Structure 1
Amino acid sequence: MLARLAAVRSRLPAESPFFIAALGVLMSFGPMGTDMYLPGMPEIGRDLHAPQDQVQWTLSAFFLGFGVGQLLWGALSDRFGRRIPVATGILLYAVGCVGCSLTTDVGHLAAWRFVQAVGACAGPVLVRAMIRDVFERDRAASVLSMMILVMGAAPIIAPLIGGQILIWANWRWIFWAQAAFGVIAMLALATLPETHPETRRTSLRPMVLAESYRTLLTNRRYLGYAVGSSFIYAGMFAFISGSPFVYIELFGVQPENYGFLFGLNIVGMIIVNTLNSRAVMRFGSDMMLRIGVWLSAASGILLVATVAGGWGGLWGLVGCLFLFMSLTGFCFANSMAGALQSFPQMAGTASALAGMLQFSIGAVSGWVVGLMANGTAMPMAAVIGGTALVSLALNLWLIGPVRRRQHCEQ
């Protein structure tokens, strides 16, 4: 088996039949780390005697760790290559899983979730850098969309697994299942080649890193892509944070059925990512991103109006959330491709900073939903609608006019 894996690694990434599938597995750390335990959040609160806002700390801690940790892995990958940092991150993730399963209070659970996230984020941040290593801009956006299709099973399967575990065991076993996913991810990593050659690696000296971040943070278009997409992420994280309590406690959905409602949104994201992977090669990633943020803002406004008016009850809410979450398929791949396209020599650092902004702002949005919790769906809806409007404003302001197709960009 090891010889077979070595043969796969020796092939060019674009030629390997396992390349996109393996990258999809590594990208799945986010949904596997968050979505699997969502059905258990109300039970965690009861078992650890913690109110809703404190239970949501554990989710915000994961988002924060997932964001901050990317700065570490991005810098290490630009210096040492992509594969070794990913392997180290997977091991740290496994340690966090064990800590979560053994904790006895919500504070320590949040701390171990932070550790778990710092390790988990190595996979997604370096996968994006690997894609930039291999593909030019619009092709990279197309590949990111196709990869999201591959990893699309994770956010569908994860909450279903979590819900089924709760039928037969307590919430602690969910974290043992997450640890098992770490083993699968390590096997996927073994099939991948190193995509960052030594001739393009950068220094870890503080002044060099500081200059890299200065370059990124003073680039107007980079900020437009990275910060603008962060607010779409914030809306998604508001849904992830608030939906377990809204569906299970407000509308009485059984925990084992929560995953089905959650999975509807992922089906929508898969459909839109399929459309995006084809349309982006014709219209360009900037045009598809602009369409995405306009539609996301409109769907956010519709969500707030539906909740405020009580239109359609549970299914009215589910329909509006389905629309918003589906439209993120026009935003994430295109914004990341745009953020990375001008910085091939430090793609890991650029990917890490964008990911840190996305998950840090997402952590704040999850915390705000818990802080505003009032027993209704309005806090979740208001945060989603507000963040979508901010994303649209940032796209119009920082990126400005877009061209239909940018043939010459690499």
Structure 2
Amino acid sequence: MTATVETIETPTPPPLAGDLMSTRQRLRLVLVLGSLIAIGPLTIDMYLPALPAITTDLHTTSAAVQLTLTGTLAGLALGQLLIGPLSDAVGRRRPLLAGIGLHIVASALCAIAPDIGVVGALRVLQGLGVAASSVVAMAVVRDLFSGAAFARLFSRLMLVMGVAPILAPTLGSGLLRWSDWRGVFVALAVFGVLLVAVAAVGLPETLPPERRRRGGVTATARDYATLLRDRTFVGLVLVAGLAMAALFAYVAGSSFVFQQQYGLDEQQFGLAFGAGAVGLITATQLNVRLLRRYPPQRILVTALGVGTLAGLVLLVVAATGFGGLATILASLWVVLAAAGLAMPNAPALALSRHGEAAGTAAALLGAVQFGVGALAAPLVGALGTGSVAMASVVAGGMVTATVVLLTVVRPARLAELEPTAVAVAAH
């Protein structure tokens, strides 16, 4: 008597639209999404070489000028909370084009702003507008791809996110050779116009009506409540935000430290700032290779440990003056490299848990990242304009991120993630 064994076949999920794209179509998509990603770092960083000049021209203080950076980050945080759920409900294109339009108007008005108060308010509007590009870019990738394809595309976009902060101060320094600080905002407005044209022609709607979420404000509140009840998601988002805070403490303080404390001119500052961002880029792209051998959870834990140690070394060097500018730059390079490994893995692991509400999850992630980052800039300004103030906030961000990972997320919880979630984190 023989027994009959039935084989139960697991249905294969249907391919997403991105899986059917040709290589040329994917390259075109990367270029479009890369442009969308770039406008955020350009808006944040391009005017950094001009911060001392703005302080003098508008007869204000360095702390007040640093608050304009906080305004941009706060606008980015709030804008993402609003645009993420909106893009899940009405599609990606309309919120994107409206947001870039707001950014264009705010940039043009910054160019003629009469005082620092008006600049600060307009920088908030700039942040609100540019939030659409970052949320929509992340949501589009989640709409079109999953698994390894998602990972590969995001690795390329992270390269753009690394290159843009390098180019932004350098471009700003170049503009300042023949224009004053107002010319930087004119350039941002022109870039916004070009971006509207690129998005209108090159980015189709990726969220069909049948996949859109309904229910208005009530459904949005329910989605956010669901996300906030997920301890692992919240912890990973906080880790990403605190790593971002360390980065923005560097962004907020570096122009004053390098130019006023160490005497670099605007062009030299652009090069020094770019040297730090090289660490961020290198680590981001190294992350793809490391993930072929190690799980993202291990990379995240290791990166935060190294970043915490380097941040503490930076603080000691800044306080003692040991080694001068070269030692400051070397310590910062290691911190930024560690952030370059932590910032891709923590958000990807978080987003992989909530693909059913990609826009809302990406919005909450971005809001926390830029919201926590927004706190770093005024904190640096309140502590002063020297290297100790900047180093204190940089080190504090990395130390706190490590504490949150160990106490809120807990490494054991990370190990419980599904294999598909691990693959998603490979960007």
Q: TM-score range by the shorter chain?
A: over 0.9
Report the alpha carbon displacement of residue 323 of structure 1 after superposing the two structures with TM: 1.2
Deviates more, 1:223-232 or 1:194-203: 194-203
1:83 and 2:126 are equivalent in the alignment:
no
**Which residue, out of 284, 287, 299, partners 1:288?**
299
Aligned partner letter, 2:387: A
Q: Deviations over 1:319-350 (max 9, x none)?
A: 11111112212111211111111211211011
How do 1:1-400 residues align onto structure 2 when only pairs under 5 Å count?
A: 12=21, 15-136=25-146, 140-189=150-199, 190-373=201-384, 375-400=385-410
Do the aligned residues in 1 keep the contact of 2:110 with 2:119 (CA within 8 Å)?
A: yes
Q: Deviations over 1:282-314 (max 9, x none)?
A: 433322222222221111111111112211111
SS in 1 for 2:33: helix
2:8 corresponds in structure 1 to: none
SS in 2 for 1:300: helix
Q: Distance in 2 between matches of 1:130 and 1:147?
A: 12
Cα RMSD of the aligned pairs, angstroms, is: 2.1
**Normalising by the residue count of structure 1, what TM-score does the alignment of the two structures yield?**
0.93
Report the alpha carbon displacement of residue 404 of structure 1 after superposing the two structures with TM: 9.7
SS in 1 for 2:47: helix
Q: How many residues align?
A: 402
Report the alpha carbon displacement of residue 139 of structure 1 after superposing the two structures with TM: 5.0
Q: Distance in 2 between matches of 1:12 and 1:267?
A: 32
Do the aligned residues in 1 keep the contact of 2:99 with 2:130 (CA within 8 Å)?
A: yes
Do the aligned residues in 1 keep the contact of 2:41 with 2:161 (CA within 8 Å)?
A: no
Do the aligned residues in 1 keep the contact of 2:37 with 2:160 (CA within 8 Å)?
A: no
Deviates more, 1:351-360 or 1:140-149: 140-149
Aligned partner letter, 1:97: S
Q: Deviations over 1:192-232 (max 9, x none)?
A: 23222222211252211111110011101111111111001
Max radius of gyration: which structure? Answer: 2
Structure 2 unaligned segments of length 5 or more: list them. 1-17
SS in 2 for 1:193: coil
1:403 and 2:415 are equivalent in the alignment:
yes
Aligned partner letter, 2:226: T
Q: Distance in 1 between matches of 2:342 and 2:78?
A: 22
Report the alpha carbon displacement of residue 392 of structure 1 after superposing the two structures with TM: 0.7
SS in 2 for 1:152: helix
Aligned partner letter, 1:243: S
SS in 2 for 1:102: coil
Do the aligned residues in 1 keep the contact of 2:38 with 2:160 (CA within 8 Å)?
A: no
Report the alpha carbon displacement of residue 281 of structure 1 after superposing the two structures with TM: 4.4
**Normalising by the residue count of structure 2, what TM-score does the alignment of the two structures yield?**
0.89
Aligned partner letter, 1:154: A
Structure 1 unaligned segments of length 5 or more: list them. 1-8
Q: Deviations over 1:235-292 (max 9, x none)?
A: 1111100011111111110012211111112222221111112222443332222222
Structure 1 pair 337–130 and aligned structure 2 pair: CA distance change class (3 A): same
Q: Distance in 2 between matches of 1:12 and 1:389?
A: 42
